[in-house]
Structures are given as C-alpha cells and as structure tokens.
A = this chain, B = another copy of it.
Amino acid sequence: MKALEAIRKCFIFSSLEEDQLSEVLNITKEKRFKKDKIIMQEGEKGDTMYLVVEGEVGVSKSLTMKFGDNDFRQTEKVLTSFKPEDHVVFGEMALIGQDNRSASIIARTDCLFLEINRSDFIKLIEAKPSLGVMILMRLSELLINRLKQSSQDIIRLTTALSIALSK
C-alpha cells in the first residue's frame, strides 16, 4: 500500500490512472538500505531508478575548490536531503540510457526504496505505449525544469565570475 502510494505521488507517474499505477508497481522491487549505506556513488554507471518509501537520504556532489596557492581540494558538497514526503526519485535518467550517476546518495536512516530497472521499464512502455507516453511526457517535463534551473545557475555563475575577475 505504501509502495503504491509512493508511486502515485511520484511526479513522473502522476498522470497515470489506478490500473496503470499497478502496472508500474509490478516492475518495482523493494530494496532496504541500512543507515550510512552509500546507495549511489557519483560517477558510477547505473541502470536503476529509486523511489524513497521509508527513511531519509542525503545527496552530495564533489567539487574542486581552491583553498590556497596550489592547494586544490576535491570537496564533497552536501546538496540536500530528502524524506519520502518529498516524493523524489533518484537515477531516473537510467531509465532512458546508461547513467553516469551525477551525485552520490547516502542513507541517512534505515531506508526502504522501490527500484525500477531500465530493461523492465522499456519492456513495460513498449507493451503499453499509452502508459509510456504519459510517463515520458512527465519525465521530459522534469528534465526540462532541471535544465532551466541549470541554465539559471550558469548565468549567475558567469556573472559572478565576471565580477570576480574584474576586481
């Protein structure tokens, strides 16, 4: 029940009807992770997407920062943390093609996830293309929103860099 609820609340499945949600549930596997377990490692290849059902996860990304002359360090920047009520998915790009994980995900508490792998997803959307169109439209929307956010970040960083360099 909790699993179906997690799927229903997930943005990329949010336009589906009840019977279509069950089709998605059929291709998920429950996965439990202990507190402090690394679920995804930035840069690793992956072909699975996860939905958080129980527990809290942290997202981090490594950055090269300059701390002094010739002192460049690879730092781990903690981006944010998510709880099930955030209805966030991880690794959804892996549903389309092999994903080089863009961030690391760590279990902040014991966690219960639903896992969907690419080959099961592709089989489902080929067998049920109407369902496929609905999911892929939402996935595209999600990607577009992220792309817009990234473009804003690039503009802000470029402006900040031009200010820093003009001093």
Question: A interface vs B, CB < 8 Å?
Answer: 63-68, 93, 96-97, 100, 102, 125-126, 129-130, 132-133, 136-137, 139-141, 143-144, 146-148, 150-151, 153-155, 157-166
Contact = CB atoms under 8 A, between A and B. Distances in A.
Contacts of A130: 126, 129
A146 B149 CA distance: 12
Contacts of A129: 129-130, 132-133
Given A66-B159, A126-B133, 20 more contacts: A63-B155, A63-B158, A63-B162, A65-B159, A65-B162, A93-B144, A93-B147, A96-B137, A96-B140, A96-B141, A97-B141, A102-B148, A125-B133, A132-B133, A132-B136, A133-B136, A140-B143, A146-B147, A150-B151, A157-B157
Nearest to A150: B150
Nearest to A122: B137
Contacts of A163: 66
Contacts of A166: 66-68
A163 B165 CA distance: 10
Please classify the interface of chain A as helix (H, G, I), strand (E, B), loop, or mixed, using the class held by over half of its residues.
helix
A2 to B, nearest CB: 28
Given A139-B140, A144-B143, A150-B154, A64 B159 contact: yes
Q: Which of A68, A140, A159, A165 has the most CB of B within 10 A?
A: A140
The 5 closest A-B pairs by CB, nearest first: A129-B129, A136-B136, A150-B150, A164-B164, A157-B157
